[in-house]
Chain A
Amino acid sequence: MGGVVVDTDGGLLFVPAAVALKFVAMPKVLAVPDAPPGLLGVALIDGTVIPVVTMGGSRDTMLVCTYLGEPIGIVGHTVVASGTFEPAHEQPGSVRCKAGIAKTMDLSSVAASLSKNAWAGRSTGL
Chain B
Amino acid sequence: MSDDRRRLFRLWRRTAKTVGVASGIGTADEAALFGAHEKALGSSRAASDAVQRIASTLAKQRGAVEATIDKSRAIEGRANDVVLALARLTQLFERLGLVALNAGLEGARLPEQGGAALRLVSDDVRAHAISGQESSRDLGNALGELASDLGQLLTSLERAREASTDAAQEAARAAAAAADAERAVADMGDGLKKATGSDPETVRAIAEATEHARALVASLGTLSGKVPQAFVASAIRPVLEPLVRMLDSDGDAGAEDPPKDEKRGTKE
Contacts and interface: CB of A to CB of B under 8 A. Distances in A.
Nearest to B95: A25
Contact of B101 (A17, A23, A84): A23
A1 to B, nearest CB: 8
Task: Classify the interface of chain A: helix, strand, loop or mixed.
Answer: strand
B108 A3 contact: yes
Given A23-B101, A82-B122, A84-B119, A2 B95 contact: no
B119 A23 contact: no
Contacts, number: 50
Contacts of A18: 109
B135 interface: no
Contact of A84 (B95, B102, B115): B115
Chain B contact patch, size range: 10 to 19
Contact of A4 (B94, B95, B101): B101
Given A2-B108, A4-B108, A83 B94 contact: no
Given A2-B109, A17-B109, A82 B104 contact: yes
A25 B97 CA distance: 10
A56 B245 CA distance: 127
Given A2-B108, A17-B109, A23-B105, A82 B119 contact: yes
Nearest to A62: B98
Smallest CB-CB A-B distances: 4 pairs: A2-B108, A82-B104, A17-B108, A83-B119
Given A4-B104, A24-B98, A83-B119, 14 more contacts: A2-B110, A4-B101, A17-B109, A22-B102, A23-B102, A23-B105, A25-B95, A61-B98, A81-B123, A82-B108, A82-B119, A83-B108, A83-B115, A84-B119
